[in-house]
């Protein structure tokens, strides 16, 4: 049986400003650093910190100890912050006159894609 990677519909992209809707980081805002469409998750700057125990590796110049770093958050718990109205908004889609497809803010009809 062949394994297939199914992509969930992810409404966020890298460098979007998002607000966390649920979980231990609820209410925090941050910039999306990385998106994993196949898992439906994203890493947000300054959100959902976990403690990772690392072993020292002098060859790679890595110090041992306990590091804190961001962990992926489910995309369903994130909402894009509109750049024009500055509020969290649902994402809509629109085709422009030149045929380009862009994401729009459902609250103010502002364009989210730069």
pLDDT per residue as tens digits for the range 82-107: 988 889 999 999 998 998 999 999 98
Residues 6+ apart with CB under 8 A from 60: none
Residue 69 has pLDDT above 60, yes or no: yes
Contacts from 55-60 at CB under 8 Å and sequence distance 24+? none
In the chain, where are the structural domains located? 1-81, 83-114
pLDDT, tens only, 15-38: 999 999 998 889 999 999 999 998
* β-strand partners of 54: 65
With H, G, I as helix, E, B as strand and everything else as coil, classify residue 62.
strand
Could you tell me the CA-to-CA distances from 21 to 28, 40, 57, 75 in Å, in that order? 8, 15, 38, 10
Is 1 a residue whose pLDDT tops 70? no
Residue 7 predicted with pLDDT over 80:
no
Q: Locate tokens 């969290």: which residue? A: 88
- Spatial distance between the Cα atoms of 92 and 67, rounded to a whole number of angstroms: 38
Instruction: Domain 1-81: give its CATH architecture.
Output: Roll (2.30)
């Amino acid at each position: 049986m062949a394994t297939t990677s199914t992509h969930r519909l992810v409404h966020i992209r890298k460098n979007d400003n998002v607000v966390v809707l649920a979980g231990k980081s609820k209410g925090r805002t941050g910039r999306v650093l990385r998106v994993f469409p196949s898992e439906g998750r994203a890493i947000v700057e300054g959100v959902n910190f976990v403690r990772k125990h690392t072993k020292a590796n002098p060859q790679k110049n890595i110090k041992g100890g306990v590091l804190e770093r961001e962990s992926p958050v489910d995309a369903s718990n994130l909402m894009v912050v509109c750049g024009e109205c500055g509020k969290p908004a649902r994402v809509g889609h629109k085709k422009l006159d030149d045929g380009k497809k862009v994401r729009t803010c459902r609250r103010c009809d502002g364009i989210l894609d730069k």
